[in-house]
Amino acid sequence: GRGAEGESSQAVSYSVSFSTGTGQEVQTENVTVAEGGVAEITCRLHQYDGSIVVIQNPARQTLFFNGTRALKDERFQLEEFSPRRVRIRLSDARLEDEGGYFCQLYTEDTHHQIATLTVLAVAPENPVVEVREQAVEGGEVEVSCLVPRSRPAAILRWYRDRKELKGVSSQQENGKVWRVISTVRFRVDRKDDGGIITCEAQNQALPAGHSKQTQYELDVQYSPTARIHASQAVVREGDTLVLTCAVTGNPRPNQIRWNRGNESLPERAEALGETLTLPGLVSADNGTYTCEASNKHGHARALYVLVVYDPGAVVEAQTSVPYAIVGGILALLVFLIICVLVGMVWCSVRQKGSYLTHEASGLDEQGEAREAFLNGSDGHKRKEEFFI
What 3 state SS string does 25-85 have? EEEEEEEEECCCCCEEEEEEEECCCCCEEEEECCCCCEEEECCEECCCCCCEEEEEECCCE
Say if CB 113 and CB 18 are below 8 A apart: yes
Specify the higher pLDDT residue, 301 or 8.
Answer: 301
Domains in the chain, start-ordered, CATH in brackets? 25-120 (2.60.40.10), 128-220 (2.60.40.10), 223-306 (2.60.40.10)
Q: What value does the mean pLDDT take over residues 233-255? A: 95
Q: How far apart are CA 375 and CA 378, in angstroms?
A: 10
Query: What pLDDT does 24 receive?
Result: 64
pLDDT tens for 112-159 read: 789 999 887 888 999 999 999 999 999 999 999 999 999 999 999 999
CA 260 to chain centre: 35
| pLDDT (0 to 100) of residue 324 | 61
Residue pLDDT, tens place only, 75-113: 999 999 998 899 999 999 988 999 999 998 887 667 778
User: Which of 80, 115, 112 has its CA nearest to residue 10?
Assistant: 115
DSSP letter (8 states) at residue 175:
T
Dihedral angle computed from the Cα positions of residues 271, 272, 276 and 282, in that order, rounded to the nearest 10 degrees: -40
Better pLDDT: 275 or 5:
275
Alpha-carbon distance 19 to 42, whole Å?
Answer: 17
Please report, to the nearest 10 degrees, the dihedral formed by the alpha carbons of residues 359, 364, 370, 375 taken in order: 180
Residue 382: pLDDT band with limits 50, 70, 90? very low
Distance from C-alpha of 385 to C-alpha of 290, rounded to nearest angstrom: 107
Tell me which of 186 and 338 has the higher pLDDT: 186
Query: What secondary structure does DSSP assign to 236-256, as a single string?
Result: ETT--EEEEEEEEEESPPS-E
Confidence bin at 338 (pLDDT 50/70/90)? confident
Cβ contacts of 103 within 8 Å, gap of 6 or more: 26, 28, 43, 53, 55, 86, 112, 113, 114, 115
| Helix (H/G/I), strand (E/B), else coil: 231 | coil
Question: Is residue 20 helix, strand or coil?
Answer: coil
Amino acid 333: pLDDT = 83
Q: What angle do CA 371, 377, 379 make, to 5 degrees?
A: 140
What mean pLDDT is predicted for residues 59-68?
Answer: 92
Q: How many CB atoms lie within 10 A of CB 303?
A: 12
